[in-house]
């Protein structure tokens, strides 16, 4: 795995999140239409009993019994929608929390290990200067804007890229110093020290990048599952309730999900599972490559011994 590939996966996760919000918007539109239908039915029945007098009271009561059934159907949809909205908020907050935690970890490491005296070190320190709102575990009502999460992720990946460049320069210095040993200059201790510090920087870059990889894998999984649940709700509405009268609520528009996502999420749930499998495949391949790299490194160490 590398920083840039994790950055690409983060963008893909944001696109998946956008599909969910578009699906939510369409569900909310349908709920609004159902609310209007219910209000119109209530008004019509109340007007009928007012015009007809007492002899229509029995008819009114029977009509209300039927309208109550529709109200129950409408409430079920509202509850399902409220549930997926609550889950969406939890996922968003979790994403913010994990990136905020990683951001503070990287920030503390940079301040501790990099010196402002060096131009390269000072550049890295300056990248991590911005402060973000702390995550509050006890405030369950708080919602964290995804734009702040995106900004944190961008700063983290930018910092890691600068750390990689910084490490490459240090490795070049180490290589030149090793040449001096071959000339008979006794700087072995210096070489050991430089090699140790470089290994620590490399190890931290790897650890932080692995965190990004884990975040992308988990968050994509959460959102894929939520997208599936929300499209099932939308499909059930389209299947069970045929709304007519306006272009945005006509059966054609209800069955056409191109305005919800580019991959027809509502009409074909296979796209959801395909997206999930593709992400999973990429993550599995990345994990496999990491293990292979580790095995190669171990093999090299054994051979060198």
pLDDT digits (tens, 9 = 90+) for 245-289: 333 433 333 334 334 333 344 444 444 445 444 544 555 555 555
The pLDDT, as a whole number, for residue 186 is 78
**pLDDT given at position 150:** 96
Kindly state the average pLDDT of the residues 70-86: 90
Distance CA 220, CA 64 (A): 45
Domain residue ranges in the chain: 3-34+77-299
The pTM is what? Answer: 0.74
Residue indicated by tokens 């995804």: 146
Q: Is 250 exposed, middle or buried (0-12, 13-18, 19+ CB in 10 A)?
A: middle
d(CA 64, CA 67): 5
pLDDT averaged over every residue in the chain? 79
Cα–Cα distance between 161 and 2 in angstroms, integer? 10
pLDDT mean over 159-174? 92
- Please compute the mean of the pLDDT values over residues 166-173 and round it to a whole number: 91
219 with 13: CB under 8 angstroms?
A: yes
Q: What is the pLDDT of residue 41?
A: 77
Rounded alpha-carbon distances, angstroms, from residue 128 to 94, 131, 231: 22, 8, 39
Spatial contact of 249 and 33, defined as CB atoms under 8 Å apart: yes
The whole-angstrom separation of Cα 14 and Cα 20 is 10
Closest among 291, 299, 230 to 20, alpha carbons compared: 230
DSSP codes joined into one string, 198-230: HHHHHHHHHHHHHHHHHHHHHHHHHHHHHHHHH
Bigger pLDDT: 247 or 94? Answer: 94
List phi, psi (to 5°) of 17. Answer: -65, -40
| Gyration radius from the chain CA atoms | 29
pLDDT of 224 higher than 90: yes
Measured between alpha carbons, how far is 42 from 69 in angstroms, rounded to an integer?
13
Each residue of 128-151: pLDDT tens digit?
Answer: 889 999 999 888 889 999 999 999
């Amino acid at each position: 795995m590398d920083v840039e590939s994790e950055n690409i996966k983060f963008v893909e996760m944001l696109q998946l999140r956008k599909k969910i919000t578009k699906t939510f918007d369409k569900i909310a539109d349908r709920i609004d239409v159902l609310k209007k239908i219910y209000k119109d039915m209530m008004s019509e029945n109340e007007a009928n009993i007012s015009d007809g007098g007492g002899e229509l009271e029995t008819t009114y009561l029977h009509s209300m019994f039927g309208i109550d059934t529709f109200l129950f159907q409408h409430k079920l949809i509202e509850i399902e929608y409220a549930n997926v909205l609550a889950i969406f908020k939890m996922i968003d907050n979790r994403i913010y929390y994990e990136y905020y935690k990683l951001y503070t970890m990287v920030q503390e490491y940079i301040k501790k290990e990099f010196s402002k005296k060096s131009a390269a070190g000072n550049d890295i320190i300056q990248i991590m200067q911005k402060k973000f709102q702390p995550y509050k575990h006890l405030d369950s009502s708080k919602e964290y804007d995804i734009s702040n999460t995106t900004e944190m992720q961008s700063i983290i990946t930018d910092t890691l890229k600068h750390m990689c460049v910084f490490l490459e320069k240090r490795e070049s210095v180490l290589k030149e110093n090793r040449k001096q040993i071959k000339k008979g200059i006794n700087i072995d201790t210096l070489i050991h020290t430089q090699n140790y510090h470089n290994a620590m920087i490399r190890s931290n870059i790897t650890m932080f990048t692995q965190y990004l990889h884990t975040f992308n894998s988990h968050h994509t999984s959460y959102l894929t599952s939520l997208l599936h649940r929300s499209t099932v709700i939308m499909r059930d509405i389209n299947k069970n309730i045929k709304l007519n009268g306006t272009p945005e609520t006509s059966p054609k528009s209800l069955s056409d999900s191109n305005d919800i996502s580019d991959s027809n999420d509502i009409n074909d749930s296979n796209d959801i599972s395909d997206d999930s499998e593709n992400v999973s495949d990429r993550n599995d391949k990345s994990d496999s490559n990491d293990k292979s790299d580790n095995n190669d490194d171990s093999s090299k160490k054994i051979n060198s011994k």
